Amino acid sequence: MPHQTPNIRRHIVLCSRFNTYYLMIQDINIAGRLVGPDHKPFIIAEMSGNHNQSLERALAIVDAAAAAGADAIKLQTYTADTMTLPGAFTIADDKSLWKGRELYDLYKEAYTPWEWHKAIFERASEQGLIAFSSPFDETAVDFLEELGAPVYKIASFENTDHPLLRKVAATGKPVIMSTGAATIAELDEAVRVLRQAGCRELILLKCTSTYPASPENTNLATIPHMRDLFQAQVGLSDHTMGVGASVAAVALGATVIEKHFTLSRADGGVDSAFSLEPAELQSLVIESQRAQLALGQVQYGVQRAEEKSRLFKRSVFAAQDIKAGETFSKENIRVIRPGLGLAPKHYEELLGKAAKQDIKAGTPLNWDLV
């Protein structure tokens, strides 16, 4: 059967930004913080398995994320038994950080014990962070509902799990869904399932499901296209090294950035190699906000902030003492700073004309002197 582009119903609104048409996307309130194009980027620190099976370290990660200025800390709610079976699969990909590891053992090492969630959520609240999680089965949703999770994250590998999508949508909470490793038809199905099951606030995250991802396979140009196609806010789940891709994503309209986070990559852990450290997370918070502020709107002409700088544009000055009646030449007039004289566009027009009076070197020329 030939591929068909999803039939997405659209409502186009004229907007002045970029002097073009684009979809007007509503703000989303996540636990009191507005997320949208006119607000600073919503920065999510993904703890994943970087706690290294230590609750003390997990709480320290929460503290460090808050100190760096993140908006939220995200967990993953599963157990090895809810994900797979012992002996089901061993990773053989030469490019994988986890080559040779059995999936079951990897998940057993990386999972966040469910009995830790309450303490982590409480520490996050104390630190002014929003805590939430990615559930990986329906029992995890029920558990997170008991904790009062304010928003849900659908991981890339679960974006085709329609029963899970329906369960999450039925909570009525905002949903953030990663779009990695999915066809456009699968994403269309996932968005339809979520919306038909009650999801009214949806954020999609452009994601490349490789660990780490490279800049070459990140394809940030998808962000504005995905926003327009699905009529939803779009962000980035960034598995690249550093913060460059994330900052660029904000410049393309991303409203949410999710990055894996650890106290120190040297401490190891299943995701440590492509996780940010505290100083890097702080840099992401600062630079992504600068990128969002710098977008502004289409602007030509002299801004108020530039008015004083007009003085330092060039203009025509007398370069030598000039006697009345003497002809202006390339030797006795020059185009220099500041802009107190005639505009440079008049330079050629002045050549060959005569001085009306004596003019001292260093005098800005005006028509009364010609």
User: Domain 305-369 is of which CATH architecture?
Assistant: Alpha-Beta Complex (3.90)
Q: Residue 8 above 90 pLDDT?
A: no
What is d(CA 370, CA 368) in angstroms, rounded to the nearest whole number? Answer: 6
The tokens of 285 are what? 């918070």
The confidence score (pLDDT) of residue 119 equals 98
Please state, for a pLDDT cut of 70, what percent of the chain lies above it: 94
Residue 10 has pLDDT above 60, yes or no: no
CB 139 within 8 A of CB 159: no
Rounded mean pLDDT, 98-103: 88
Contacts of 351-357 with C-beta under 8 Å, sequence gap 24+, read 352/327, 352/328, 353/327, 353/328, 354/325, 354/326, 354/327, 354/328, 355/322, 355/323, 355/324, 355/325, 355/326, 355/327, 355/328, 356/324, 357/324
Residue 15's pLDDT band (cuts 50, 70, 90): very low
pLDDT score of 198 more than 70: yes
13-295 to CATH, choices 1.10.8.60, 3.60.40.10, 3.10.450.50, 3.20.20.70: 3.20.20.70
- Put residue 10 in one of left, alpha, beta given phi > 0 → left and psi -120 to 50 → alpha: beta
Q: Is the pLDDT of residue 86 over 60?
A: yes
pTM above 0.85, yes or no: yes
* pLDDT (0 to 100) of residue 293: 96
Q: Residue 120: pLDDT above 70?
A: yes
**pLDDT grade, residue 96 (50/70/90)?**
confident
Q: What was the pLDDT predicted at 24?
A: 64
Peptide bond into 41 cis (omega under 30): no
Instruction: Flag whether pLDDT at 124 surpasses 50.
Output: yes
Residue 367 has pLDDT above 50, yes or no: yes
For the chain, where do the domains classified as CATH 3.90.1210.10 start and end? Answer: 305-369
Q: Are 128 and 121 in contact (CB under 8 A)?
A: no
Beta bridge partners of 72: 44, 130
Cβ-based neighbours of 294, under 8 Å, separated by 6 or more: 251
Q: Quick one: pLDDT at residue 6? A: 42
216's CB contacts (< 8 A; 6+ apart) are none
Q: What is the mean pLDDT of residues 17-36?
A: 74
CA of residue 25 relative to chain centroid, distance: 16
Would the pLDDT of 183 be above 60?
Answer: yes
- Contact, 261 vs 46, CB < 8 A? yes
User: Which pLDDT score, from 0 to 100, does residue 35 have?
Assistant: 98
Give the pLDDT confidence of 146-178 residue by residue, as tens digits.
999 999 999 999 999 999 999 999 999 999 999
- Residue 323 CA to residue 65 CA, distance in Å, equals 72
Is 180 in contact with 208 (CB distance < 8 Å)? yes
Q: Is residue 324 over pLDDT 50?
A: yes
Task: Specify the domain boundaries for CATH 3.20.20.70 within the chain.
Answer: 13-295
Residues sharing a CB contact under 8 Å with residue 165, sequence separation 6 or more, in sequence order: 154, 159, 190, 193, 194, 197
Region 74-81 average pLDDT: 97
- For residue range 218-260, what is the model confidence (pLDDT) as tens digits? 999 999 999 999 999 999 999 999 999 999 999 999 999 999 9
In this structure, are residues 74 and 135 in contact, taking their beta carbons and an 8 Å threshold?
no
Residue 269 binned pLDDT confidence (cut-offs 50, 70, 90) = confident
